[in-house]
Amino acid sequence: MTRPMLTQREAAAACGVSRSTIRRRREAGELPGSVEDPVRGWMIPVDALLAAGFRLNAPAPPDSDTSPLPEAGSGVVPGGGQDAAALRAELDRVRAEHALALAEAQFEQRLAAAEVGHLRAQLAERGERIADLQRAVAALTPAPARAVLTPETEGMAVPNQGGSEPVREESGGRWQWRGGRS
């Protein structure tokens, strides 16, 4: 499993600091393993945050509370902002992990599809090469051998040994053999 990574915004919220603090520490090289994702921006490893001395889910500095009071029965507890911030940070962290896992799966799928295409191209190329080799072998293979006349078979192979060769001629619209045949 890959280690969990947070965006700069998620890291700032989880550590209770500003985004500029996370950015400055990253630029100073204090957050090793940070990588820039083309879609989500800089991704910071949770391990690097801890190694740099940040505390995850640290309480955020108090803000002036200008939010309206929750309605009765809404399940929101006044003064529970610290718990809500921790839950929000955890939710952001889980979302980040999920997005990273999804991106990795999509990348692996694209990589597998590219590999399939490459292998199919190689297979087609090798099929063409095999066909070329088969044509070359056929061109180099001698024609079937003809019967060789030996002294024993010589008399059998030549039908009219004593006389003239038979001649085929046309006579009255028909072809006939003349001479040499008995």
State the pLDDT at residue 181. Answer: 47
- Dump pLDDT digits (tens) for 58-104: 555 555 555 555 555 555 555 555 688 888 888 888 888 888 888 77
Q: 35, 82, 34: which is closest to 62 by C-alpha?
A: 82
Better-scored residue on pLDDT, 70 or 5: 5
Does 175 have pLDDT greater than 80?
no
State the pLDDT at residue 101. Answer: 81
State the pLDDT at residue 141. Answer: 86
Q: Reduced to 3 states, what is the DSSP secondary structure of residue 143?
A: coil
| Largest pairwise CA distance in the chain | 132
When pLDDT is averaged across residues 21-39 and rounded to a whole number, the result is: 92
